[in-house]
Every structure is written in C-alpha cells, then in structure tokens.
Structure 1
Amino acid sequence: MKVEAKKKFGQNFISDQNLITKIISILGEDKDQLIIEIGPGTGALTKQLVEKYNKVVAIEIDTDMEPILKSAIPNKNFELFLSDVLLVDFTKLIKEHKQHENQKVSIISNMPYYITSEILFRTLNVSENLNKAVFMMQKEVAVRVCSYKGENNYNNLSVACEFFADKKYEFTVPKHMFYPVPKVDSAIISLTFTNKHTKEIENKEDFLAFLRKIFNNRRKTILNNLSNVTNDKMKANLILDKVKIDKTLRPEVVGLEDFIKIFKKL
C-alpha cells in the first residue's frame, strides 16, 4: 500500500534500496551503535538500520505512521518515539537508551526542508554526546553547510558546523528518487563530531548567536557587523586590532579560527 505523504510534515519518501544502503554505509560498520533516526516515515531506512545496528530509536511526528512502522519493523532492537523532534530532549533520550558508556551514538535523518536549520542546531548542541550525523537535506543548504571561507555559500551555518565537526558533502540525490517528487535536488552530508575547537569556548550557545549576528549583513565589513554585536564601534575596532584582522574584510572571507579569537575578546 502506497502511503500518501503529508505536506505539513515536509514528507518526501525514498524507496531505492541501493540508495538507502549507500546512505547507511556512511554511519560505519561498528554494529554496537545507538542510532537515532529523525523522521522514519514508512521505515525505508529504518528496516536496514535495525538489521545492521544494535539499537535504533526513531522519532516520528506523524501518528499515522505508528501502525505502519510497528507492523513493518517488529525487531526488538527498535523503539518508536512519537514526538515533534523540536520538543525532544536529546541529552535525556541518549542517556536513557545508551547501553554502555563507550557506545557510539549517531543521528540519521531525511530532514524535512522546513526545519533543517533547527534540527542542525539542536544536533550541534548535543555534539559532545554524538559520534556522527548523516543528513539528507536540500542541496542548496548542503552546499552552504559544507562551504569554507572565501566560497560563495559560506555563512554562519558553515562556521557553526565546522566548529563542532569535520563536515563532508557526500553525494547529490536527484529529486526523481523521491515520492512525491520535490522541486529541488537533495544531498547527503556527514558531520563527524571531533569537538576539537569547542574546548576553546565555554558558552557554545553564545558563540552560535555571535556567528548569526556577525553574518547578519554579508555586504558589510567585519568591522560594521562586529559593531552591531558590541553596540560600540570603538570597541569593535580595538578587538580587531588585537586579533590582527583587516577591518575591511567581509565575514565570508574570515575563517573559524579568527571568529574564535574575536569572540574570546568580546
């Protein structure tokens, strides 16, 4: 029986088994992983996940999917959590389902386009509890996430993801591989959480808020954008002098390390 996708939940289903296998392979071969799947839909990815990994917890907002998923996936290592993902306490969820201290935890999702950024930032906020995230998202956003300084699509999201993880654009998924067929192509990205930069900053949420403000107006210089953060152009000038950054540069040509230096001087 073909399930009708619901536009209000941003549902677009995939059924190509080769594509599904290729996506799941990015999570690695370590069977002893806790996998959290966001938006399992009809369970296309989930069916392979439960066969490959020791524990799979799926978060689904659409209650109509409950009987479909429970019928299709009777496996004892599968648990369905009916909830809006934006209301889920990921730290609590991981603590409750992690089977031992050394168990790796990964997130996988065919992300609804309309809440892509929200899911990304919620994932970043619990990065210390995660090994990897594998996300399918709109290609345009995927390119932005995986961009580096000096590239056209580089923005606060690019810097935020680099701050927490090694990021990789895995491959493009043409729109005809979904039903219903969306208007744009998608892409798979992976984030491997190293947290090598996060030790430098105590309040990570403040740093993410700083990045959003510093990229608030891409056409303005780093000095002008920083002045909006400090509400004091003289102070912004002083900070940039201390960290030896050219005040005429625009944010899109400034790298993560320099943003960390600026933030630490605030």
Structure 2
Amino acid sequence: MSQQVAAKKRYGQNFISDGNLINKILNLLGEEKNSLVIEIGPGTGALTTKLVKRFAKVIAIEIDQEMETILKEKISDENFELIIADVLEIDLRELIGKQTQQFDHLYLISNTPYYITGEILFKTLHLNDILTKAVFMLQKEVALRLCAGVNENNYNNLSIACAFFAQTKYEFMVNKKMFRPIPKVDSAVVSLTFHTRYLDQVVDKWRFLDFVRTLFNNRRKTILNNLTRVVNNKTKAAEILTQSGVDWQLRPENLTLENYLGIFNLTILK
C-alpha cells in the first residue's frame, strides 16, 4: 500500500526505499529496550515499524494527514502513538512531559525535510538536557556543516552549537537513488550524543550561542572587527582577545569552541 503513496513536494517528502539503509539507521540508536523514541516525519512507516518492535514507546509526528490511515493500518502496537501535526507547532518538551521518568533513554530520529532542517535542529538542541541521542538524515551539505571542525570550510555557528551540546558524528553518506522520488542531492546521516561538559562554563547557554552566531555574521572579517561590533569599542575588543589568547587577525572559522567560551565569558564581565 505504501508504494502507491505519492510524495508531496510541499512537505519535502522523499521516502526511503532501501531496507538495508533502514536497518543501518535503526542500529545507530542501540538496543536499549526501555527507551522512548520521538520520530519526526515517519512517512509511510518503513522505519517506524522497526522502531516499535525494538523500543518501549514510539511517538511519531507526521504533518501529512494522508499518512494517518496508512500508518494506523500498518502499525497497531500499543506502544505506538501517532500525532498528525506540524512538528514546528508542537512543544516537544510538553509532549514528552513526565514520560522521561519511565524510560532509561530518550531518542529523537528524523528523515528531515530540507526546508525545515534548521528549525528542527534548534528545537532538538533545546531538549539537550533530556535527550540521550538524536539521529538525523540531512542534506549532505548541511550534515557536513553540522559536523565540521575548526578551520574547515563548512565550520560555522551551527557546528559550534551542536558541539556545545553533543558529540557530533558524520555516520555515513546516503546516495539520492535510495529514495523515492529521487531528490536532486545526496543525503547523509549524522548523530548527536548529548553531553553536559560545557554547560557549567557559561552563565547562559542561549546567550552564548547568540553571541557566537553574531560573531559569524561577517565571517570574512577578522574576529577583532566582529567583536568590536558586539562591544562597540575596538580597544575593549582587543583587550578581550588578548586576555583570551586569541590572535586579533583570525577569522571566525579559525576559532575553537573553547576560544569562543573564553571570549564570551570575558565579554560579559567587561
């Protein structure tokens, strides 16, 4: 039945058609039975059917109303909950609520529509304190950016935001021919395993990430010029960088997460 469903361009739908790929993605979540899994965009349920067999509870969020009948006919397991809604309009923390107390792990997994990738990533990061791991299928270019390291071309504020909250890993590339309809670009699967190692190094984690994003707004300019725009004083910016041990002439992509933490903490003290 699922093979007869036409993918809708307005939802950025591309269905996975390779069984081996589905198993490969599933195995990234491990084997811990007593886990709650949030799946964003289950589509026709190719991955979902396997998730409900492996984990204690699966909540799937699907925007396409046409998929409701298909998913409910395919999956009748008691541990499966389907929500037909736009994930961007859902308060995921409220949805999960106190359920986290019942499970050893909380996972999020998504074959992410390209047009809302950023929004879903940042909604996920806002769950950093309760998530164990998140697995995303993303446009390859975005995946490389998310996992990029200092001095790499794709390195930006998203790379730093993800590294601040989690250990990021580029798992594997996915050829576009593994989807139907075939998209224009290849995809990649990435994982975020959440940690708390940097949280106690800043007084406000969201203010810190806004600070980093601002410094990346003009990535062709030096860090001195960008910081000057933030503190409105070039001498003050130079003092902060000197105290941080950061070369004034470096550009945003040349600074590590630790560099940004040091600069931020000195900036808010000045």
TM-score relative to the length of structure 2: 0.95
1:75 is paired with a residue of what secondary structure? coil
Aligned residue in 2 for 1:113: 114
Matching residue's letter, 1:142: A
The match for 1:77 is 79
Quick check: 8-17 or 195-204, which moved more? Answer: 195-204
The corresponding residue for 1:218 is: 219
Task: Write out aligned runs for 1:159-178 (5 A).
Answer: 159-178=160-179
Identity %: 57
Structure 2 match to 1:50: 52
In structure 2, the gaps of 5 or more residues are: none
The aligned counterpart of 1:32 is 34
Aligned-residue offset at 1:231 = 2.6
Measured against aligned partners, the alpha-carbon deviations of 1:33-89 in whole angstroms (never above 9, x if no partner) come to 100000111111101100111100011111111111111111100001122111211
Q: Could you report, residue by residue, the CA deviation over 1:185-230 in whole angstroms, capped at 9, with x for unpaired residues?
A: 0000000001211221232221121111111111111111112222
Residue type of the alignment partner of 1:56:
V
1-structure distance, mates of 2:98, 2:10: 30
Counterpart position of 2:91: 89
Task: Give me the whole-angstrom Cα distance separating, in 2, the residues matched to 1:22 and 1:229.
Answer: 45
Letter in 1 for 2:190: I
Relative to structure 2, which stretch is displaced further, 140-149 or 234-243? 234-243
Give distance in 2, aligned partners of 1:203 and 1:61: 33
Distance in structure 2 (CA, Å) of the matches to 1:259 and 1:206:
12
Q: Counterpart in 2 of 1:264?
A: 265
Tell me the secondary structure at the aligned position of residue 30 of structure 1: coil
CA distance in 1, matches of 2:65, 2:9: 15
SS of alignment partner, residue 98 of structure 1: helix
Amino acid at match of 2:143: A
Deviations 1:126-168 (A, max 9, x none): 1011000000000011011111101111111111111000110
Find the aligned partners of 1:228 and 1:115 in 2 and give their Cα distance.
30
- Read off the aligned partner of 1:165 and give its amino acid letter: A
Instruction: Using the TM superposition, name which of 104-113 and 224-233 deviates more.
Output: 224-233
TM-score in terms of structure 1 length: 0.96
Mapping 1:49-68, distance limit 5 Å:
49-68=51-70
Structure 1 outlier segments of 4+, above 4 Å: none
Please tell me the root mean square deviation across aligned C-alpha atoms, in Å. Answer: 1.2
**1:12 alignment partner AA:** N
Task: Write the mapping of 1:75-154 to structure 2, written as runs, cut at 5 A.
Answer: 75-98=77-100, 100=102, 103-154=104-155
Write the mapping of 1:245-256 to structure 2, written as runs, cut at 5 A: 245-256=246-257
Is 1:244 aligned to residue 217 of structure 2? no
Cα distance, 1:194–1:214 mapped onto 2, change above 3 Å: same
Aligned letter for 1:257? E
Aligned to 1:182: 183
